[in-house]
Amino acid sequence: MQKSITFKNAKISFSDYGKGSAIVLIHGFLENSTMWDKIGPELSKRSRIITIDLLGHGKTDCLGYVNSMELLAETIEAVLKSLRIRKCILIGHSLGGYVGLAFAEKHPQKIKGLCLMNSTSSADDDKRKMLRLRANKMIQTHFTNMIRMSFTNLFGPISKIKYKREIDFALNEALKTSVQGYISAQEGMRVRPDRSNVLANDNFKKLFIIGEKDPVLDYKSLIEEAKITDSEAVIFPNGHMSHIENTRALISCFHSFIKKCSSKK
């Protein structure tokens, strides 16, 4: 059941179910809480699950045209405060990982673990920043075509056939995102700083979920990033959408990570 709070005059939609250690699942760009529909219920058998629609996504309102990672992290904090949750484990997919890092930078004492799922602590390089600027101009007149193209390009030929139903559902959810939601998230990601220093914190567990064929992030660079930050790394053979292409293995991986975080003294 969806709940909501008001944050800076915007409605923030979230769900809260299960009992145990609090796990916050943070979706990625052009996604929303529905991306966790197969994963959240499985994790809730042992944990308390909080899923949050970020600003401009799902059932959460838009707020301006630059949603910085710091601002999005504030919405996470606002939800946790409303639920009186003092410590949690953060699992963020892509954009969600960037938000998780911003939260961890400001509130390291409030987290037991941070999982970067198909995500990175690095900032955008100049090429990626230029691509985001170009996309924000094009999206205003070619919304549907751009969403379809960028989304389907995340999957290889075999996955497009094998996971057609799941991809169609996720694409339909992506198309519900407003132009303002698209632009504000792209701008926020474009200006985000490098946060590799956050992963130097030894007070919480760290995990990278890496796709060997990720078309967005270079998997060799992510392996090196995990190594130099003393983070655990799990590598899947597919791409950027591990929750679709590696669902069962991902759930098992999360259970293991949550157990490690919960047992950390």
- Domain harbouring 251, CATH code: 3.40.50.1820
Helices assigned H by DSSP within 22-125: 40-43, 69-82, 95-106
Cβ atoms of 67 and 188 closer than 8 Å? yes
* pLDDT reported for residue 201: 83
Cβ atoms of 261 and 204 closer than 8 Å? yes
* pLDDT reported for residue 264: 60
Cβ atoms of 127 and 134 closer than 8 Å? no
Q: What is the DSSP string of 143-198?
A: HHHHHHHHHHTTS-HHHHHHTHHHHHHHHHHHTTS-HHHHHHHHHHHHTPPP-GGG
What tokens appear for 164 in the block? 């057609």
How many domains are contained in the chain? 1
pLDDT in tens, 95-146: 999 999 999 999 999 999 999 999 999 999 999 999 999 999 999 999 999 9
What tokens appear for 90 in the block? 């953060």
Flag whether pLDDT at 219 surpasses 80.
yes
Q: What is the mean pLDDT of residues 51-56?
A: 98
What pairing do the DSSP bridges indicate for beta strands 3-7 and 205-211?
A: unpaired
| pTM greater than 0.85 | yes
Helix axes 143-152, 164-174, angle to 10 degrees: 140
- Rounded Cα distance between 57 and 206, Å, is 26
Q: What is the DSSP string of 221-260?
A: HHHHHHHHTT-EEEEESS-S-HHHHSHHHHHHHHHHHHHH
Contacts (Cβ under 8 Å, ≥6 apart) of 259: none
Cβ atoms of 118 and 217 closer than 8 Å? yes
Q: What is the mean pLDDT of residues 201-210?
A: 93
pLDDT in tens, 221-255: 999 999 999 999 999 999 999 999 999 999 999 99
* pLDDT reported for residue 265: 52
The domain in which residue 139 lies consists of: 3-263
- Residue 46 CA, distance from chain mean position: 21
- Rounded Cα distance between 209 and 121, Å, is 13
* pLDDT reported for residue 173: 96
